Chain A
Amino acid sequence: MRAIPAVILLLASWAVAAAEPPPGLIQLDGRPAPALKLADLDGRTTDLAALRGRWVMVHFWASWCGPCRREMPTLETLAREIPAERLGMVLVNTAETDDEVFAFLTIVAPSLSTLMDRDGRVTERWQPRGLPSSFLVDPDGRLRYLALGGRQWDSLAYLDFLEFLTARDSRPRPAGGQ
C-alpha cells in the first residue's frame, strides 16, 4: 500500500515536468497571433483564424538555412506523432520560389506541405527572431511559445511536452490583460 502514494507522487511530478517547456522553448505573453492567410504550392489557401479550437505550430523556414534543413525531418515526425486535430502544422516558406521549395520538400519532408510567403511580408509581420522560427498558437489564437532556432521536435522532451500541451483538458487559462 505504501507504494501507491509513491506512484501518485511520481505521476504528479511527471505531469508537472511535462507541463514545463523544454529548454529552447520560451513562453510568450499570450498576445493575439498576427493574421496569416497564404496559399500553398497548389494554390490552396490556409487561414490561421480558421484553425481556432486547436493548438497550431506556425513554422517559418527557408531552404537555404542550415538549421531549417536539419529541423524539417523532425517536424515531419512530429506531424505523424500528434494528430492534426490536436496540433495543426502551418509551415510558411519565406520568400522562395515554387521550384526551390518543391525541390527541397519533396526530398527532405515529402509528407509536409508549406504555405508560400512569396514576398516575405507575412514573415515580417510575425517578427520571428530568425529562421527557422516556430510559434505555438493556442486554441484561442494567442501566441504562447516560441522556439529559439531549430529544435529537434521528434525528441522525447518535445514530444512529451506537446502531447501534454495539446491534450484536450490542457487548454490554457484565459490570457490576462491581452
Chain B
Amino acid sequence: MARKLLLKDIDVPGIRSFDVYRKQGGYASVEKALKTMTPDQVIDEVKKSGLRGRGGAGFPTGMKWSFLDRRSDKPRYLICNADESEPGTFKDRYLMEYIPHSLIEGMIVSSYALGAKTSYIYMRGEFRWIFPILEQAIEEARAAGFLGNNILGTGYSLELYVHPGAGAYICGEETAQIESLEGKRGNPRNKPPFPAVVGLYGCPSVVNNVESIAAVPHILTMGGDEYSKIGVGKSTGTKLISASGHINKPGVYEIELGLPVEEFIYSDEYCGGIWKGRKMKAVIAGGSSVPILPANLILKTAKGEPRLMSYESLADGGFQTGTMLGSGGFIVMDETTCIVRNLWTFARFYHHESCGQCSPCREGTGWMEKVLHRLEHGHGHMHDIDLLVNVAKNIEGNTICPLGDAAAWPVASAIRHFREEFEYHVKHPEKVKDRKHFEKEPFVSEKKLTVAETV
C-alpha cells in the first residue's frame, strides 16, 4: 500500500466530527505552529516541502506565499479556492465532505503563516450540502478554542468564513473569485497587479486550492524535508486523483506522485483496468482543460520512457506529445468513445461558462461549440477541422484569464491526435447521426488498415 496522508483516516467512523478527528492526531499542527514556530518558519517548511499548487497550474505554494506583500500595513487575506468545477475533477468535494476538519486545520496554520486575521473559503454554489458540514466544523473548532480570539492562548486570532458562490466556473479563477467575494460580477481582473499585492478589497491576498491547504498540516507535523522525500523530483508529496470514465473502479485515490500511469490505470489498488474488458482509447490526465492523449502516448512518452503521474513526466514532450497533471481529473475513455462528441461536450461547457468579458473567449468558445456540434451531427465539412485549429490558436494566449486557454487546448490536442476521427465524421454523415455510433461500430483507423494490408 502506498503512503497516504490526506485520506489516511477516511475509513475511521465519525471522522467528520471534531472529537474523532482530534483523537486521530488532528489539530496537532496548529498547536505546533502557533506555540513553537514563527510565521516565517512555517513558510520555510512549506517551501522546503516543495508543495505545488494542487488546483491545476502547479505553482509552488511556498513561493506564492513569499510573494505576498508584507510591507503594506493593510490587512492580509487567505482565500481557499473551493470552487472546484472542472469537468472530471471532484477531489476537493470529497475532502470537504468527509474530512472537513483537515481543511479547517490547514486554513488555521496557513492563515497564521501569512498573518491573515480573516480568511474565506469560497465554495462552489452547487456544493450546497457541504456548506452546513463546513459551518459545523468551524463551530466545533471554535468551541474547542482553535478559532476566534486568542487561539490556544497564543494571542493569534482568526475568523474563518465559508462563502458559497452562485455557480460559475469562472469564479475558480483567482481574480474572478476575489471580485465575486467582494460582491461584484465574477469577471477576472487584468493582471498585473497580482492578488499578492492588490487582492481582496485592494489588500494583499493569497488564493490556494483546498488540497494545497489541506496538505500544509501534514507538512508541518512531519517536517518539510520529510515531505519532500515523498514523490519524484520536483513533484513532491501525495496527490488526490479523481478517476472517472470507463474504468472498473472510479473514485478519488490518493497517490504518491511518481506512480507509473500504467500501474494507476491497471492495478487493482487504483482504477482496476478498463471496464468490460475493452481497450483504452484516450486519457485526459488532469481535468477537461488539459490536452487529451491517445493510449500509446499516455503510457509511454514519445521517447519511449514509461510515463509517471508527476508534473514533469506528464508534461514531457510539451503540447505535441504531452499533457499536464492539472487538477488531477483523470478521465479514461475506452474504444467506443467518440472523441468528437466528447470534445463537443467540453466545448459546450466552456461556451456556457465564459464570462463574456474579452472578445476572443466570448465569441470563440461559442463558435467552436457550433462547429463541433455540426461535425458531430454529420453536417460538417473538411475545412471545418482546420477552422477549429485556427480559432483555437486565435483564442489561446490572447485572453484575460486562462479560461480561453482551457477552452482552446482540448480542441487543438484532440485534432492533433485524432484528426482521422474528425475526418470520419465528415466522410460518413449517415453513420454518425446515431449518437451511439462508435458503440455499435468502434472507430478503426484507415491508415492502420492499409498498413496491415500491405504487411
Tell whether A and B belong to one assembly.
no
Q: Give chain A's interface residues, CB within 8 Å of chain B.
A: none
